[in-house]
């Protein structure tokens, strides 16, 4: 079963859903570093690259509604597809992710500020392209590195995946203290 955009909810609807139902399982699929920077109270952190390892547990523990969150909505949409295929079609995706949640005034638990993975990808790709073009003045042919990065970005956009993002997610900066996925539990009413 493939997810569609009818499973997406805006930030105001998501806030109302959480407020009305203490059993909503909020699953944040960003990196632990992004999660520590700012997250919704009661959310569990299950980075996208670990979703497959915990699919059965999330499906079993869901009980009620699952709300998937990432920075902009793209990673949560991919996690939603995997959950649907595993037998949990009722999960919801926060459209626009944490960006939309914060813009709508949603409450967050703040920690040490860190750059989002998307921002890290833009910085890394841009720096490699710039360095390759400048270095090409002395070592002709390095502009091909810039072309390869450009091709990678096109493939990333077309396939809605990001190899550079997956690589950056493995860096210690993005690891944080680890995921909370080992013990998902329904959100308690505070």
Strand partners of residue 44:
27
Burial of 124 (0-12, 13-18, 19+ CB in 10 A): middle
Residues composing the chain? 190
- CA distances to 110, 139, 140, 147, 183 from 76, rounded to whole Å, are 20, 42, 42, 30, 19
Q: Are strands 92-94 and 109-110 parallel, antiparallel or unpaired?
A: unpaired
Q: Give the β-pairing of 92-94 and 8-9.
A: parallel
Residue 70 annotated as catalytic: yes
Q: Which of 70, 84, 162, 183 is catalytic?
A: 70
Cα separation, 26 vs 109, whole angstroms: 14
**Annotated active-site positions, please?**
70
């Amino acid at each position: 079963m493939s997810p569609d955009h009818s499973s997406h909810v805006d930030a105001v609807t998501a806030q109302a859903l959480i407020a009305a139902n203490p059993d909503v399982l909020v699953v944040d699929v960003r990196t632990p570093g992004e999660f520590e920077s700012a997250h919704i109270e009661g959310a569990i952190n299950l980075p996208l690259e670990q979703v497959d390892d915990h699919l059965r547990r999330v499906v079993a523990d869901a009980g009620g509604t699952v709300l998937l969150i990432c920075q902009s909505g793209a990673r949560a949409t991919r996690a939603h597809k995997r959950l649907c295929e595993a037998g949990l079609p009722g999960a919801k995706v926060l459209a626009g992710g944490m960006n939309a949640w914060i813009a709508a005034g949603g409450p967050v638990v703040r920690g040490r500020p860190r750059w989002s993975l998307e921002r890290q990808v833009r910085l890394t790709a841009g720096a490699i392209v710039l360095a390759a073009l400048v270095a090409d003045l002395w070592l002709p042919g390095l502009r091909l590195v810039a072309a390869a990065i450009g091709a990678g970005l096109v493939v990333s956009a077309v396939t809605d995946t990001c190899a550079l993002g997956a690589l950056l997610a493995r860096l210690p900066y993005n690891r944080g203290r680890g995921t909370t996925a080992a013990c998902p539990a329904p959100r308690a009413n505070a």
